[in-house]
Structure 1
């Protein structure tokens, strides 16, 4: 699991699995946001399965799938709300972390990125 911090609250990484959730919690993350649509790959864990385990560990999870090119104001508002709802560090993930980074940049905007 290669985690990259984007600012004080948001980090991104590639696909996580059930075996990663304990470590994610131990690293201090309070919430996770899945930006990868279910069923994108055969070996991909199902969001609901991960969310059930995360809940038992005290981690919140939000499902906000993003396909490249499908960036809408509604999607960005939903993501912003999910980020703001977590009191602590958030780990966003997709297949590689790239889409999550794109979403974070879109939500935060150039002026907020420069201020971090």
Structure 2
């Protein structure tokens, strides 16, 4: 697993496996958010299989599949609701980028684009191309 910290309570990761559930639980996470649409992956890693494994390990599991088309303000707000838990939350997708982008979009009204992009870069995600969108959200 390649878990990367975005904030003290929000972490992102590329695709995880059902076998990772206990390790995720042992690392202190309380909730896992799947941002990967089932159409992208084999049945063994789709939301139903992942949810079963995560819940069996004692983790909360939420599904919010994200694509460029579904990265709407409503889904950005929903992700941040799901990221609010009584402990650390791990969100995953194919590479962790979508999970980081949705976080970045949620922060645009509160933080500077520089701060958001720096935070993402510190976690290994280059979101520089998102700057115009972050600036536009901040200007609203």
Instruction: Determine if the TM-score, normalized by the shorter chain, exceeds 0.5.
Output: yes
Alignment of 1:8-87 (within 5 A): 8-42=8-42, 45-84=45-84, 86-87=85-86
Alignment partner of 1:107 is 2:121:
no
Unaligned runs of 5+ in 1: none
CA deviation profile, 1:30-81 (whole Å, cap 9, x unmatched): 1111110012133761111111121122101110111024321111121121
* Larger relative helix fraction: 2
Following superposition, the deviation at residue 94 of structure 1 comes to: 0.1
SS in 2 for 1:111: coil
Please tell me the root mean square deviation across aligned C-alpha atoms, in Å.
2.1
8 Å Cα contact 1:38-1:44 kept in structure 2: no
Following superposition, the deviation at residue 107 of structure 1 comes to: 1.5
TM-score by length of 2: 0.74
Unaligned runs of 5+ in 2: 120-140
Mark the structure with the bigger radius of gyration.
2
> How many positions carry a matched residue from both structures?
115
TM-score by length of 1: 0.88
Partner of 1:91: 90
Higher relative contact order (CA 8 A, sep 6+): 1
